[in-house]
Structure formats: structure tokens, C-alpha cells
Amino acid sequence: MVADMSLVSLVSRASTLVQLVMLALLAASVLSWFVIFTKHKILKVAREDAMRFEDQFWSGINLADLYSRLKKKNEERRGMARIFESGFAEYARLHKRTAGSGEMLLAGVQRSMKVSLAREEDKLEANLSLLATIGSISPYVGLFGTVWGIMRSFTALGSVQHATLAMVAPGIAEALIATAMGLFAAIPAVIAYNRYSDQVDRLIGSYENFAEEFSTVLQRQSAAELDQQQAEVA
């Protein structure tokens, strides 16, 4: 009699522990793909928003007008727009209350943008650790299921007098499915983690560069206003 070696049959004949391992790996794979597609959309929107806002910022528009436009929008600000909004709001607040040096004003603006930058970084890096975890442990979980299944097959083989390959092959095949499922869950997760980590690093770098450039613009604007005030007094 030829044993049924179909995938469904092998999974259904596997031990309860191996089936639980397969179920866990299947759940990890589904979760991984959900995170992959969600993260792809988030990073794509973040890149497009950054490019769009940089074009507006360097178009020569008055910073106060740009800030007013952002405040009028009902949608949530994110990325560069959020960093700009927090920085300019702090600049306007300190500019009204502080008549002293521009260094104190600039330091306050930089602190505000640093906080916003850290929050944006946390948003971009969300769930990346989950992909890294799935990618690193799934092969080991699958290997555990395989080892357990092979041990069970050889234990059953020891209770018969005349062992044949046909008797042990189905059990080994059942066990190896767990390893295959572990690799199926891990490989996309590792690829996505590496790709998205690089994209996040690039985005954060562009945010940091923008914050530095914006600080320079505000410093020049503050110095120009101070020179104008001194000229009026003179």
C-alpha cells in the first residue's frame, strides 16, 4: 500500500506538537506579510510627503504663510511638516517673549524640533522589530518541529521488526514541512526588515538635514530682524 504523501495528508497526520508549531509559523507568516504591506504604504506616503513639503519650503514662500497653511489643514501633520510646525511655533512663541540673543531663541527651536524628530523616528521604526523577531526565530521554531517529528518517527520505527523506507519516509516528510514553513515565514521578513530599515534611515537622515537647514534659515532671519531693529534705533 502506498502512503498518501500529499501536503494536507502529511499535515493532518503530524503530531499535535508539530501541528501547533506549523500553526504558529503560519500565523507568524500572515502577521509578517500584514506588517510588510502596511509598512510599505506608510514609508511610501512619508517619502512623498517629505518631497512635497521640501518643494514648498524651498519655493521661496514666507515661513509664516507656510505655517498658517499647515495650521489650516485638518489632516494630521507628519514628517518634515510636523518638524517645521513645532520648530516655527516655538520660534514665534520665543520671539514674542524674548528680546535677548538669538542663540537662546535658536536653542529653544532646536530642542522643540529634536522632540518632534524623535517622535517621527519612533513612528517610522514601529513594527520593524517585529519583522526582525519573526525573521530570526521562525527557522529555529521550524527546526524544533522538524527535530520533534523525526524523533517521533524513529521512536515508532523502533517498535517494529522489519523497518522499511516507506515506513519512515512519511514521518520525516511531515517533520520537514515545519522547517519549510519556518523558512517561508523568515525569508520575506528578513528581506523586508533590511529594506525598510535602510529606507527609515534615509528618511530620518533627510529629517535631520531639514532640521539643520531650517535652524540656519531661522538664525539668518533672526539676525536680519535684529540688525533692522538696531538700525531703526540708530
Domains in the chain, number: 1
Domain around 129 = 7-229
Own/partner contacts of 33-38, CB < 8 Å, gap of 24 or more, are 33/188, 35/127, 35/130, 35/131, 35/192, 36/131, 36/188, 36/189, 36/192, 38/127
Integer Cα distance of 181 and 70 in angstroms: 48
- pLDDT tens, position by position, 204-213: 999 999 999 9
pTM metric for this prediction: 0.81
Helix (H, G, I), strand (E, B) or coil at 228: helix
pLDDT at 1 (0 to 100):
44
Integer Cα distance of 154 and 159 in angstroms: 9
Give me the residues of the chain with pLDDT under 70, please: 1-14, 97-102, 156, 158-168, 170, 223-234
Give the C-alpha distances (Å, rounded to integers) separating 165 from 3, 102, 148, 177: 11, 83, 19, 18
Whether 108 maps to a domain, the answer reads yes
Q: Which helix (H) or strand (E) holds 59?
A: none
Whether 173 maps to a domain, the answer reads yes
Q: What is the mean pLDDT of the chain?
A: 83
Whether 73 maps to a domain, the answer reads yes
Whether 136 maps to a domain, the answer reads yes
Whether 219 maps to a domain, the answer reads yes
Whether 161 maps to a domain, the answer reads yes
Whether 234 maps to a domain, the answer reads no
Integer Cα distance of 120 and 123 in angstroms: 5
pLDDT at 189 (0 to 100):
95
Whether 154 maps to a domain, the answer reads yes
pLDDT at 204 (0 to 100):
94
- pLDDT tens, position by position, 51-101: 999 988 888 888 888 888 888 877 777 889 899 999 888 888 877 765 555
